[in-house]
Structure 1
Amino acid sequence: MEFCPKCKSIMIYQGEKVVCRKCGFEKKAENEEEMVIKVERNKEEVPIIEGENLKTLPTTRAICPACGHNEAFWWLRQLRAADESEVRFFRCTKCGKTWREYD
């Protein structure tokens, strides 16, 4: 995690650069291993977990919207303010489609 040198806010990774959401300061990403891969969907960033980390996630019964399979990996992620609930993400164990649970 990196902090903005100008305003001290948390910076986010966008491709190969790090950007401050608050003031817009940008710089080249230094450590690619710390980068979180994101997929843009409906103009919102959705965090994606890939690689070996996926095999360690718990599974649950959930119907995949893409293939109809009934098992998926799941994880929680705090996307907004700390006083708001976490968002649960799912990834189909068969086709790999990722989606989130809306309340």
Structure 2
Amino acid sequence: MKFCPKCKSLMISSEGLFRCKKCGHTEEPGENTEKMTIRNKRVEKDIVIVDEADEVRTLPTVSAKCPECGNDIAEWWLRQLRSADESETRFFRCTKCKFTWREYD
């Protein structure tokens, strides 16, 4: 890495010279300059399609009684619905009947 002697910004290698992106100062590489090669490799990512029939559970569960069916296990998550100085709202979804309810602190 080389830093600009004028503005102290990081200089980049361009067309065999070091060029400052901030002030435009250019320098030739010296004898003590190390060579680096930076390669940007694009990584292909797999796209996962989830059908509703697959029922992939990604939320944490807790022991909470569903007010509709009486099941004892529910998924839960938090959302900031009111102003930032107030507490978050806790939501629950029954793992059996999918009924959703909320709890305030």
Give the alignment's TM-score, normalised by structure 1: 0.47
Name whichever structure is richer in helix by fraction: 1
Is the radius of gyration larger for structure 1 or structure 2? 2
TM-score (norm 2): 0.46
